[in-house]
Amino acid sequence: QPLVRAFNWPEISTRVTVDGVVTVVDGKAVVDGQFAANVAAVDAQRAQDDNLDHETPLSELFDDQIACADMIVVNKADLLTDVESEALVTDLCKDSRDGVQVVKATMGALPVDVLLGQGMGAEEDLGSRHEVHHHHHHDDDEDDHHHDHEHEHGHDEFQNFVVNMGEIADPAAFTDKIADVIRTHNILRLKGFAAVAGKPMRLTIQAVGPRVDSYFDRPFTAGEDRGTTLVVIGQAGLDQAAITEALGA
């Protein structure tokens, strides 16, 4: 939280915002109860920095970073069994704030569309990001881990597809439906445009997790198709048929 709070300083707040706080978790280390691949190396590095609170254990720093996150990335997912992976994701969802997304990655590979464009403005939402433990400084307890071989994972662990449909009748009801579909199917991102019956303007839709924003951006041009097009982004395994049916119901 102290780092995010710094973005409220006058000389910074007028220039930049925090799109979202992404906490990267060493999945293998956490499952092993260590929170870092090499705890001794992390402790030695922290001891060399006089600006850090050396008395705070990694476990407390881990808890605070989870509490502040808008998205949690479980890295090194390829080193976990399916049971370990699902148990860790369940625990992280339970320990994080409502609406925080937990995604799995290998070698930190994530599509840009998944990481960026969260639009959280985290520095303006400090009230919901309470520190679990109170100390002076945050430390990044995620230790770099290098593999000696290449993986053929990365973006193959994610998928996206397009849903096309006709005009919608009620924008509010439609965005509520989108939020329900996102929760049901663990969709990471949804974005696109909709045509609203009787309205000359195109409706822009942007969803990050269950938070759905919409606004009319411009009139439809002469001859332009008055349809609805949505791009759905999530981890591999999304039920495209069920999602398409639910959005069009």
Which residues, in sequence order, are bridge partners of residue 74?
25, 104
User: Which mean pLDDT values do the consecutive 10-residue runs of the chain (249 residues) have?
Assistant: 61 69 89 79 73 63 83 91 92 86 86 75 55 46 40 62 94 94 90 94 89 91 92 90 92
Residue from 31, 161, 38 nearest 87 by CA: 31
DSSP alpha helix (H) spans, the chain: 2-5, 10-13, 27-31, 39-47, 58-68, 82-95, 112-115, 171-185, 240-248
- pLDDT, tens only, 152-211: 444 567 888 999 999 999 999 999 999 999 989 988 889 999 999 999 999 999 888 778
Listed residue (67, 76, 73) closest to 103, CA to CA: 73
The structure tokens 């006709």 sit at 166
Encoded tokens for 159:
């998928």
Q: Which residues pair with 202 in a beta bridge?
A: 195, 218
- Domain 155-248: assigned CATH number: 3.30.1220.10
pTM of this prediction exceeds 0.85? no
For residue 142, give the DSSP letter: -
What stretch(es) of the chain map to CATH 3.30.1220.10? 155-248
CA nearest neighbour of 243 among 199, 207, 196: 207
